């Protein structure tokens, strides 16, 4: 049984208004639309907006069906452009597919009774009171046990995702939800995708918040692996120890410079997938020696074992970066095996709709409700 720290502080998210619905006051959360088995909309008891993202606002609400407090995410206007259609569909499928203690999953997906009214999506998930960003910037002291418990859960959730062939591609403190018992869940799968094994297939570079972006993406690599998520975890680990962002730059170029200030000038082998412009930028500058011992100054909790694991995560060459599985076996942490089946979305691997109307119909027709075949992690 893992140690549990004291309850971290944290409050609600920033407020954000919702478009008023017919028959309701401006600023009120909407009545839930009926699901296919119901004739009347569900009436909810609103609490407050607790957060928002690129695809909608999240409310704390009471589910009238059982009286439990849950989170309701309203995703409006999701079928207006092709990029949004693909990302929303992919996120919904993943939320319904995954079942793990440290990965957020959907409790329900609510739809109107007819596709003609299907312009927004409502996702019901477990209610989490805070996130790691709010905890890090709060005055709440974090013990060594806090840091270990949070890091352990992040890696445990990532091990599960990676073993299912999924790259999250946006691991950051704000996407790591935490409840009052210090249970952590990875959320926001809007940028997640199935791992691309064919290195000749180009992958988008418009992923990962800059402060947590791996050097191979900063250097223009057109193909990358799940090692980009491990780099992000390393940045978060350092942030938990030091209570400040490790690489806080104003631009991607400056971000890369801060990384080389710490790790030293990378070898040509480590830059083998970088674009020529990025290589030229590195080689034009002065040769830098590694300054990794500075990590010991992050805090008194930056012990030898902690810094050793951190250095295994913050490796310039992604092929030499530690995996989530090996990180959990590190002396600083350890964990048992997780073996889910591979995650696939057949409709995304084969032919895909070329217009928003196609995705609209697909989201309507697909069984997006949590399925009985979803992966369960009981340990």
Binding-site residues for ATP, please?
73
CB atoms within 10 A of CB 56: 22
CB contact set of 109 (below 8 Å; sequence gap of 6+): 92, 96, 121, 122, 123, 124, 368, 369, 370
Sequence-ordered list of residues with C-beta below 8 angstroms from that of 249, at least 6 positions apart, any chain:
210, 211, 255, 257, 258
Measured distance CA(93)–CA(102) in Å, rounded? 17
Contacts of 58 (CB under 8 A, 6+ apart): 13, 49, 50, 51, 52, 71, 72, 73
- Catalytic hit among 63, 108, 131, 170: 170
Other residues' Cβ atoms within 10 Å of the Cβ of residue 192:
21
**Three-state secondary structure string covering 260-276:** HHHHCCCCCCCCCCCCH
3-class secondary structure, 75: strand
CB 58 within 8 A of CB 51: yes
Annotated binding site: 73
Active site residue 170: yes
Active site residues: 170
């Amino acid at each position: 049984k893992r140690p549990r720290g004291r309850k971290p502080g944290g409050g609600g998210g920033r407020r954000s208004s919702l478009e008023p619905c017919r028959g309701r006051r401006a600023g009120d959360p909407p009545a839930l639309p009926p699901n296919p088995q119901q004739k009347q909309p569900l009436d909810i008891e609103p609490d407050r907006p607790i957060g928002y993202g690129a695809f909608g606002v999240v409310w704390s609400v009471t589910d009238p069906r059982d009286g439990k407090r849950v989170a309701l995410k309203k995703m409006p206007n999701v079928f207006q452009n092709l990029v949004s259609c693909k990302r929303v569909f992919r996120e919904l499928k993943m939320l319904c597919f995954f079942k793990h203690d440290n990965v957020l999953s959907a409790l329900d997906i609510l739809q109107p009774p007819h596709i003609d009214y299907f312009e927004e999506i409502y996702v019901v998930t477990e209610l989490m009171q805070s996130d790691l960003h709010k905890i890090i910037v709060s005055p709440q002291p974090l013990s060594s046990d806090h840091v270990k418990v949070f890091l352990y859960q992040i890696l445990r959730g990532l091990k599960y995702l990676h073993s299912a062939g999924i790259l999250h591609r946006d691991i950051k403190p704000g996407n790591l939800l935490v409840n009052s018992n210090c249970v952590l869940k990875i959320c926001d799968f809007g940028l997640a995708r199935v791992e691309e094994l064919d290195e000749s297939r180009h992958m988008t570079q418009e992923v990962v918040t800059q402060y947590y972006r791996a050097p191979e993406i900063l250097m223009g690599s057109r193909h990358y692996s799940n090692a980009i998520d491990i780099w992000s975890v390393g940045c978060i680990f350092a942030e938990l120890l030091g209570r400040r962002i490790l690489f806080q730059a104003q631009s991607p170029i400056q971000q890369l410079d801060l990384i080389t200030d710490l790790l030293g000038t990378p070898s040509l082998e480590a830059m083998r997938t970088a674009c020529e412009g990025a290589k030229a930028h590195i080689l034009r500058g002065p040769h830098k020696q590694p300054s990794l011992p500075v990590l010991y100054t992050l805090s008194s909790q930056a012990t030898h074992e902690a810094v050793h694991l951190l250095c295994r995560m913050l490796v310039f060459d992604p092929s030499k970066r530690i995996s989530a599985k090996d990180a959990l076996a590190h002396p600083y942490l350890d964990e048992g095996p997780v073996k889910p089946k591979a995650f696939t979305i057949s409709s995304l691997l084969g032919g895909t709709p070329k217009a928003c109307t196609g995705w609209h119909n697909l989201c309507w027709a697909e069984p997006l409700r949590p399925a009985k075949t979803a992966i369960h992690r009981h340990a």
